[in-house]
Amino acid sequence: MKKLFIIPILLVSSIFLFAFDDTEYTGFKNQYGTSIQKIINGCVVESANTNNQRVDYSYELDMTRLPDFIDILAEESLPALLKTFAIPSAKATLDIHKMTIGIYNREGEYLKSESKTESDLIYIKQDFYFKEMRGYSVFIDLFVDGLETISIITSASFSINGIGEIEMPSSISEAFEPSYRNLAANYDSSYLSELQYKKPSMMILSHNVLNPPEDDLLAYINWKKSIGFDIEIVYKGTATSTEQI
């Protein structure tokens, strides 16, 4: 009796984790109060535009929607933002163009504002490769406790400038496209959004050499090819290791 194994080459996603457990879309579970963080995330009005290896990003907090200061200060850690960008570069630098810091007392009353173009409150936290995505995560230390006062970066604009080339993918995996879209604040203008989906593929490991035209498996293979699959057939006798498979 003929034996065969059909092995779909599917992208099985182990959710990509980096320094923080979650991105700005879900709140920082471990280090930040999730419910407060989600509310803060919803107060962010942002814009991201990509030009080759440069991303221009700006945001402004809708202060009318912020939680009460009492609730914010009751959190174990003050809220922050982590914004991730898809940039096809070997390295990247960050330039702050403008940053507005609102100074408030601990009851939430506005005292004054300051403008800066240099600060250690916004910086590239890390860079990573995630399948076809080259990513850079920027940390924004949104709330700073000054004991008597609370400083909030109410708005900021900065650019992430890519340096050096990387090998560009020619297509992306459809299974990962939602992850890229959720991760990258600049997805819609990034190189990822311009790539076509990869064709689905399948590897068939067979114990027997296929004998056309009577072999039923060939009909299955032809059907898969007709709906767009790339098919690779590996015969057991020629595959001596898992690496070859």
10-59 pLDDT per residue, tens: 333 433 433 333 444 333 333 444 588 888 989 999 999 999 999 999 99
For 96-151, the pLDDT digits (tens) are 999 999 999 998 899 999 998 888 999 999 999 999 999 999 999 999 998 899 99
Name the token pair of 35. 């419910």
The answer to whether 198 and 171 are in contact (CB under 8 A) is yes
Long-range contacts for 26-31 (Cβ within 8 Å, ≥24 apart)? 28/77, 28/80, 28/82, 31/76, 31/77
For 159-187, the pLDDT digits (tens) are 999 999 999 999 998 889 999 999 999 99
* Separation of alpha carbons 22 and 41, rounded Å: 12
Please, which residues have CB within 8 angstroms of residue 12's CB and are 6 or more apart in sequence? none
Q: Burial-class residue 130 by CB neighbours within 10 Å (0-12, 13-18, 19+).
A: middle
Of the pLDDT bands very low, low, confident and very high (cuts 50, 70, 90), residue 231 is: confident
> CA of 13: how far to CAs of 9, 17, 187, in Å?
12, 11, 19
Q: Which pLDDT score is estimated for 3?
A: 41
Task: Name the 3-class secondary structure at 30.
Answer: coil
Residues composing the chain: 245
Q: Burial-class residue 179 by CB neighbours within 10 Å (0-12, 13-18, 19+).
A: middle
Of the pLDDT bands very low, low, confident and very high (cuts 50, 70, 90), residue 229 is: confident
- Please check the confidence at residue 80 and state whether its pLDDT lies above 80: yes
* Separation of alpha carbons 194 and 185, rounded Å: 15
Name the token pair of 2. 């003929």
- What is the average pLDDT across 63-77? 88
Task: Name the 3-class secondary structure at 62.
Answer: coil
Q: Which pLDDT score is estimated for 34?
A: 59
- What is the average pLDDT across 181-200? 91
> What backbone phi and psi angles, to 5 degrees, belong to 199?
-70, 140
* Separation of alpha carbons 202 and 227, rounded Å: 12
Of the pLDDT bands very low, low, confident and very high (cuts 50, 70, 90), residue 240 is: low
* Separation of alpha carbons 118 and 101, rounded Å: 12
Residue 142's closest CA among 98, 80, 59?
A: 80
